[in-house]
């Protein structure tokens, strides 16, 4: 019990009861014992919901609406063509099929190489030594560069006449390995994929380092005492424990692969040649040609492809985690 300067006597229990009675939901309960929540708390997510509706839900609904039309983007009048745009995409559009194939090959190379290299770098640099911190910053550096600047740097390196790669091969006597790089229609998309890997591996390395550092050291000590080899430790301990980080890396890398518009345009020109055309550049070309209805249909297929690939990757990761 305490006596205040004004002579009012209170005690701790009374103060707690007063706070619980006056607090907005901290101690007050509804009938039946359920906690009471102030109605104003439901207003906090409102700005995010409004932005989500304006910048995502409304454009998606509009895309679905225009996907069934022949709108050119300027005229007030347009005709509904039903599923004609989607039918053409599926059966009679070689350019879209070529872009889809390029994008899937690009994604496969980027996801595999970027995931492997970022995990490898994270394993070697997981300790917080001065050398590791310096190398982390060095490998992370390309991520802070703009896509356009990266594209122009690598465009110089890939140049068949005075590019750094061919000049280096010539200097060491390996002229037979020289290539036209982006001029080779068969392998051009893979050279762009290597640029993408160089660009973002350091960024995803940080995600894996965070995942590795969250694993308790006691688990490794127990595995060492049990005589487990390094491969067994990685397979049965490290890999399952970093599964959430792997899911983030794979999903983010996949989305990056489908959104590599600026890198493709910077390396291949606008519009890019067919060997470098991907879904985002194909959709952009359709918009530029005033085929807004058809471009909307391509956008719908684009979203569906990303959803299917992402769900398939999540299923594969869950399956591999159960098998470990």
DSSP letters for 25-75 = SSS-B-TTSPBP--GGGGGTTHHHHHHHIIIIIHHHHHHHHHTTB---SS-
66 within domain boundaries: no
- Please tell me the predicted confidence (pLDDT) of residue 116: 94
Domain containing residue 282: CATH number: 1.10.3720.10
* 135 shares its domain with 230: yes
- Please tell me the predicted confidence (pLDDT) of residue 104: 93
- Determine the Cα–Cα distance for residues 304 and 60; give it in Å rounded to an integer: 12
157 within domain boundaries: yes
Structural domain count of the chain: 2
Residue 228 binned pLDDT confidence (cut-offs 50, 70, 90): confident
Residue 113 binned pLDDT confidence (cut-offs 50, 70, 90): very high
- pLDDT for residue 19 is more than 90: no
Q: Please say whether the beta carbons of 103 and 95 come within 8 A.
A: no
- pLDDT for residue 21 is more than 60: no
Average pLDDT of 46-75?
A: 89
- Please tell me the predicted confidence (pLDDT) of residue 23: 44
Q: Please say whether the beta carbons of 118 and 227 come within 8 A.
A: no
Burial class (CB in 10 A: 0-12, 13-18, 19+), 282: buried
Q: Which of 62, 91, 136, 93 is nearest to 300 (CA)?
A: 62
- Please tell me the predicted confidence (pLDDT) of residue 131: 92
- Determine the Cα–Cα distance for residues 198 and 142; give it in Å rounded to an integer: 8
* 212 shares its domain with 109: yes
- Please tell me the predicted confidence (pLDDT) of residue 30: 57
249 within domain boundaries: yes
Residue-number span of the structural domain to which 171 is assigned:
95-323
- For 60, the token pair is 């998606």
Average pLDDT of 5-11?
A: 46
* 103 shares its domain with 186: yes
- Please tell me the predicted confidence (pLDDT) of residue 322: 62
* 300 shares its domain with 234: yes
98-116 burial, b if ≥16 CB within 10 A, otherwise e? ebbebbbebbebbbebbbe
Residue given tokens 């004004």 in the structure block: 6
73 within domain boundaries: no
* 173 shares its domain with 317: yes
Average pLDDT of 237-257?
A: 89
- Please tell me the predicted confidence (pLDDT) of residue 183: 85
Pick the range with the lowest mean pLDDT from 66-75, 188-197, 311-320.
Answer: 311-320
- Please tell me the predicted confidence (pLDDT) of residue 12: 46
Measured between alpha carbons, how far is residue 32 from residues 16, 28, 35 in Å? 22, 12, 9
Cα 250 off chain centre by: 7
> Helices (DSSP H) in the chain: which residue ranges?
12-22, 46-52, 58-66, 84-91, 94-124, 130-140, 147-158, 164-171, 188-213, 217-225, 230-233, 239-241, 243-258, 261-268, 279-288, 292-323
Full-prediction pTM beyond 0.85? Answer: no
- Please tell me the predicted confidence (pLDDT) of residue 128: 87
* 37 shares its domain with 99: no
* 210 shares its domain with 292: yes
Average pLDDT score over the chain: 84
- Determine the Cα–Cα distance for residues 298 and 239; give it in Å rounded to an integer: 37
């Amino acid at each position: 019990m305490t006596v205040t300067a004004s002579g009012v006597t209170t005690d701790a229990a009374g103060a707690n009861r007063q706070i619980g009675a006056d607090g907005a939901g901290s101690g007050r309960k509804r009938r039946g014992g359920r906690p009471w929540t102030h109605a104003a708390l439901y207003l906090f997510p409102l700005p995010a919901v409004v932005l989500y509706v304006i910048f995502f839900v409304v454009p998606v609904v509009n895309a679905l609406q225009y996907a069934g039309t022949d709108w050119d983007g300027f005229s007030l009048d347009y005709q509904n063509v039903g599923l004609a745009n989607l039918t053409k995409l599926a059966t009679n559009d070689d350019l879209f099929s070529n872009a889809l194939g390029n994008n899937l090959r690009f994604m496969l190379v980027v996801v595999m190489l970027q995931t492997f290299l970022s995990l490898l770098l994270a394993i070697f640099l997981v300790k917080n030594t001065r050398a590791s911190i310096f190398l982390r910053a060095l490998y992370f550096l390309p991520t802070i560069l703009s896509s356009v600047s990266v594209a122009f740097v690598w465009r110089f390196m890939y140049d068949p006449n005075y590019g750094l790669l061919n000049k280096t091969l010539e200097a060491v006597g390996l002229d037979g390995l020289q290539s036209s790089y982006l001029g080779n229609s068969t392998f051009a998309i893979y050279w762009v994929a290597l640029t993408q890997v160089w660009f973002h591996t350091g960024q995803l390395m940080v995600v894996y380092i965070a995942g590795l550092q969250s694993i308790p050291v006691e688990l490794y000590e127990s595995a060492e005492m049990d005589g487990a080899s390094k491969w067994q430790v990685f397979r049965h301990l490290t890999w399952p424990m970093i599964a959430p980080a792997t899911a983030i890396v794979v999903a983010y890398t996949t989305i990056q692969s489908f959104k590599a518009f600026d890198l493709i345009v910077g390396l291949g020109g606008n519009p890019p040649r067919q060997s470098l055309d991907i879904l985002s550049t194909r959709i952009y070309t359709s918009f530029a040609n005033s085929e807004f209805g058809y471009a909307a249909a391509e956008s719908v297929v684009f979203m569906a492809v990303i959803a299917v690939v992402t769900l398939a990757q999540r299923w594969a990761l869950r399956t591999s985690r159960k098998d470990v």
